[in-house]
Structure 1
């Protein structure tokens, strides 16, 4: 079972931030349609026989190096949107695999050094009454999204809610190696959410069929104490690949 709280302490973070006004939009997919997009070391993590792909726009707030408090004026705050799926390493450790990451702050592109699939673009997050709107367009204009949601009442997370939202490491691949990045933050406070508008081309740009099922949607005001650890190469486990 996926843990609701962080599975490890990130004692020396590479980066600290808050993840605010985050919406989770999830679609089920046949596992084989997702597996072909993964490196050989990772296998699709399934829930109720399906792979799940999540569109998760949010505000990346007060981005700073370790030791710098969030109250320092002028810290970068910008919109980011992830398209992600859920995986397990063949050693059993679960995590995220990012199919794409859209970002409005070009300095985040430095994470491409460990294979994070960042794409620069024009993104925005806005609040109008009880609606939260997210828009984004990748530079070049061929990939875009628009999402408008209305957050509802807070919920006590079910097992499926936890499985879809709470992951404590991300995998990337670069230079022939699989990398693992740990993350620590407080548990997500989740609410129901209704979708008013949803148009996106991120899924097809990533190599997936366009979603056909109705999405599952959650909203969170966010977590303010995110600690991203240093990315490190995954050490191959003897015998996993016929060694």
Structure 2
């Protein structure tokens, strides 16, 4: 079901293109000085800030039930792990997400994301193991080397929804993505119910996912976990 619940903008009247479920997400949030990050944002996008800080988030998770509108999901293609590195931008008053990288263990997903959404997808060898209780052990090794993530995480609180105006809300309640190709900005609408978050405990054993000149991130400021969210994605459109 598509609703307007807690959504900053109305649901688009046009038809969505892709439906998918995102599962066992960990959000690791890092504050960054805006002047460090601005040179890495394409012209046409404005870096979004909260309390005068820009933010980068690293998000490991896995997807399931991926399908196009009017078609069923296909076994062995509709489910795979993915790991995103993202920051927060806006065009006018419309806030969204901009990705520095998206690693996935799916040749189809990498091809489609690059070809039709102009997103910086990379193929990676990835594993996700559920251990005792709700602990997730996650590893990602990008083909060609250079970008590694190894860690574990689990929820530690009851489920809650972020309050409007809070940092939690600002970080997660975003309903579009921006991308860039040939000096042109594109946007895709995204819709889902409000995030059902939990606080997260985590252990990071290795992380080289963010390698941008002039950017030095230390420990995350905060972390969130979400067990599952069902998502509709609209076609990409030029701005």
TM-score by structure 1 length?
0.87
Bigger shift: residues 95-104 or 7-16: 7-16
Give the distance between the partners of 2:75 and 2:100, measured in 1 at CA. Answer: 33
* Match status 1:162 vs 2:169: yes
Give the distance between the partners of 2:93 and 2:106, measured in 1 at CA. Answer: 34
Deviation at 1:76, TM superposition (A): 1.4
* Match status 1:78 vs 2:83: no
**Structure 1 gap segments, 5+ residues each:** 235-243
Residues 32-91 of structure 1 show CA distances to partners (whole Å, capped at 9, x for unaligned) of 111110111111110111100000111111111102356x766610000110000011x2
Give the distance between the partners of 2:76 and 2:153, measured in 1 at CA. Answer: 29
Q: Which consecutive segments of 4 or more residues in structure 1 shift more than 4 A?
A: 72-75
* Match status 1:124 vs 2:127: yes
* Match status 1:215 vs 2:226: no
**Contact 1:149-1:196 within 8 A present in 2 as well:** yes
* Match status 1:171 vs 2:178: yes
Deviation at 1:6, TM superposition (A): 6.3
* Match status 1:142 vs 2:146: yes
CA RMSD of aligned residues (A): 1.9
Q: Match of 2:15, SS?
A: coil
**Contact 1:4-1:162 within 8 A present in 2 as well:** no
**Contact 2:77-2:106 within 8 A present in 1 as well:** no
Give the distance between the partners of 1:24 and 1:73, measured in 2 at CA. Answer: 27
Give the distance between the partners of 1:196 and 1:4, measured in 2 at CA. Answer: 32
- For 2:208, the equivalent position in structure 1 comes to 201
Structure-to-structure mapping, 1:1-243, within 5 angstroms: 4-5=6-7, 7-10=9-12, 11-68=14-71, 76-89=78-91, 91-108=92-109, 109-113=111-115, 114-129=117-132, 130-153=134-157, 154-158=159-163, 159-204=166-211, 206-207=212-213, 209-224=215-230, 226-234=231-239
TM-score by structure 2 length?
0.88
Deviation at 1:214, TM superposition (A): 3.6
**Contact 2:37-2:215 within 8 A present in 1 as well:** no
Q: Match of 1:157, SS?
A: coil
Deviation at 1:97, TM superposition (A): 0.5
Bigger shift: residues 212-221 or 99-108: 212-221
Q: Match of 2:114, SS?
A: helix
Residues 74-130 of structure 1 show CA distances to partners (whole Å, capped at 9, x for unaligned) of 6610000110000011x2211100011001111122221342000111112221013
